[in-house]
A and B are shown apart, each in its own frame.
Chain A
């Protein structure tokens, strides 16, 4: 065989090309086999209910402690059990609600979470005030002044005999519409 420099060059080109393809394929294969499980694991909590709080109504005490048309009472919402990823916890404080008895047979509850950006709302004698951005809300939860997009979120509450049963819900923040988060 005659040593043809041109052909030798072509051989080298072909070898380099094949090497590139092989290395690329190996890189892609190993990257896939390692990368996909790693990404799946990292994405595992996305959209998953990692922290599970009770969806059923919680007993928050007797109706007897509320006086008709008295100022709102702050009640802490305590879940009997929650699960946080791997931990099971008992008696966990979830948040607070402001509760008002509007008549003998009617009780209203408002989430203490400000619908604007989620700070805790307090009762200031005449109205609710969010200390973060000065949103004010009337005793019935309607918005008075400030940046909040909507009034305080009313929480589902029932009277069962003389017990009050409240369902704890978190709503989406910073929008006019009240939607569960």
Chain B
């Protein structure tokens, strides 16, 4: 009723006729429209989060993927929906070709279809760049490199990149193309494509079919086909967890970049072509596209009978078979590369680290590569790894000093040290352990030992102390330790000074010059001085990190 009311007032078209009766062959156009609608809806939602700049692009996609509710699903639908769009476009094209529907008077409909195929591919490429992760960054580098090999390529390259190199303008341009220009062109060309197709009517696929209304016989076929494609798409997205997001674009780290799957055949062709790679990558699509465009001009017989057009259909089948074979070969090449898995695993680990840090701490305004530095002590940990872990790392095979690990300097560590100062985790591997000046195990009753530990622990400036134990511990210290150790600040006995033990200042002083008289002394320390090796800030960063180990588990 409402439909009738609308029809009467808007003058929309007459009920559609199917000259040859309903057929499964006609469903693909409707499925494509449904997919287009999905791309539009998901695209609008994603655009509300996405930020096209080299500092923000990856971070905003990571936010969509890992933090916004259902973001991963919507992004997955958008990406895999685009894949479905490419696949169904291919089937639609083949079906149309087999039916001979490109023949007079439908040539223009066919050509507009080719334009739409081209637009879908440009849509994919520009969309892929937007995430600006390692995969997209390196794919963009390669794609632009190929473009620049074409005549006038320098101009095209500079236009696509927005200047001489990848950067902010690359992304703003790709974004404007993706959501603006290409989308507008796509909707416009699709509209004309459908309008013309309807004016000419469907090409009867079987002889002798009686003309029927589109509704309901064709409509139910369209609806069921759409439902099947959508169900497969949604199930695929739900079970695969959507789309990958690699680590942020990093010009200094190699990555096994692969083009999007519709371009894998060109990737393989380039590999096979060797030195002629640029020509292959440019000439092959030109031949393919040229054949598709020329088809209505080449096959001009009146017959739509496939058997009588074997030459042209064979040519088309040959091209599709070649593309298919090259695509399979490309994936097979990767599957047979024994080292690729290892590299991919490293890249995946890097991606997981970057995304975890981005979700937990946010991405610094300075850019996504700084995300690796946002975690507390990330810099100190790196310094420790480079400068300290060889001699102090618990896992280090050539360890020469005491282990430094989680729990370093806490009560248990102090108690363990007092019991066995020359144990393997403490001085055991140093030359000091064999020295006659070496500290001997402190033998005390349990309660005295605990009191002494509490006093030693108090030296780091902790506030979570048992004051009575500290007081008793001081008495134990004065009775047991003062032969070798002083508790006055900056004063040592024959052994190291213990005032401020394991505090940030103490670590700072020790790292700066362990050979100092208040620490190990020149004769007993194998550890080098770091006051010339590391900046004040670096030493302090390590000291703060060592303090943090105390409460690390």
Contact = CB atoms under 8 A, between A and B. Distances in A.
Interface string A23-53: 1001101100111111011101100000000
A34 B77 contact: yes
Nearest to A16: B216
A86 B77 contact: no
B239 interface: no
Contact of B215 (A19, A40, A83): A19
A147 B130 CA distance: 48
Interface in B4-47: 34, 38, 41-42, 44-46
Contact of B70 (A15, A26, A37, A83): A37
20 contacts: A22-B223, A23-B219, A30-B34, A30-B230, A33-B234, A34-B41, A34-B234, A35-B41, A38-B44, A38-B45, A40-B69, A41-B64, A41-B68, A44-B69, A85-B49, A85-B60, A86-B62, A86-B363, A87-B365, A88-B363
Given A30-B34, A33-B230, A34-B234, 11 more contacts: A19-B216, A19-B220, A37-B73, A37-B74, A38-B42, A41-B71, A42-B44, A86-B358, A87-B56, A88-B361, A88-B364
A177 interface: no
Interface string B362-373: 111100000000
Contacts of B358: 86
Nearest to A82: B362
A89 B216 contact: no
A33 B34 CA distance: 13
Centre residue among A41, A45, A86 by max chain B CB count within 10 A: A86
A42 B48 contact: yes
A66 to B, nearest CB: 32
Interface residues of A, number: 29
A20 interface: yes
B74 A38 contact: yes
Nearest to B222: A23
B123 interface: no
Contacts of A34: 38, 41-42, 77, 230, 234
Determine chain A's interface SS by DSSP, over half rule.
helix
A10 B172 CA distance: 59
B226 interface: yes
Interface string B221-257: 0011011001000100000000000000000000000
A86 B223 contact: no
A30 B227 contact: yes
A95 to B, nearest CB: 19
B140 to A, nearest CB: 21
B374 interface: yes
Contacts of B73: 37
Contact of B362 (A19, A30, A33, A87): A87
A33 B41 CA distance: 12
Given A41-B70, A44-B68, A87-B365, A20 B216 contact: yes
Contacts of B542: none
B175 interface: no
B229 to A, nearest CB: 9
B70 A88 contact: no
Given A15-B216, A26-B223, A33-B230, A86 B56 contact: yes
Contacts of B64: 41
Interface centre among B219, B358, B362, B363 (most CB of A within 10 A): B362
Nearest to A19: B216
Given A16-B215, A19-B219, A41-B45, A29 B363 contact: no
For the residues of B in contact with A, the DSSP-based class is helix
B227 A41 contact: no
Contacts of A29: 227
B39 to A, nearest CB: 10
Interface in A66-121: 83-90
The 8 nearest A-B residue pairs measured at CB: A88-B362, A19-B216, A86-B59, A86-B63, A37-B70, A40-B70, A26-B227, A23-B223
A83 B63 CA distance: 12
Contacts of A42: 44-45, 48
A38 B234 CA distance: 13
A37 to B, nearest CB: 4
B228 to A, nearest CB: 10
A39 B371 CA distance: 30
A61 to B, nearest CB: 25
A23 B218 CA distance: 11
A29 to B, nearest CB: 7
A85 B480 CA distance: 57
A50 to B, nearest CB: 10
Nearest to A35: B41
Contacts of B42: 34, 38
Nearest to B363: A86
Contacts of A20: 216
Contacts of A45: 68
A74 to B, nearest CB: 26
Contacts of B230: 30, 33-34
A86 B355 CA distance: 11
Interface string A150-180: 0000000000000000000000000000000
Nearest to B48: A42
**Residue from A19, A35, A38, A45 whose CB has the most chain B CB atoms within 10 Å:** A38
Nearest to B220: A19
Contacts of B363: 86-88
Contacts of B59: 86-87
A123 B83 CA distance: 61
B471 to A, nearest CB: 29
A84 B42 CA distance: 23
Interface string B340-372: 000000000000000000100111110000000
A27 B374 CA distance: 46
A41 B60 CA distance: 13
Nearest to A27: B223
Contacts of B361: 88
A67 to B, nearest CB: 37
A42 B59 CA distance: 18
Contacts of B62: 86
A10 to B, nearest CB: 15
A87 B215 CA distance: 53
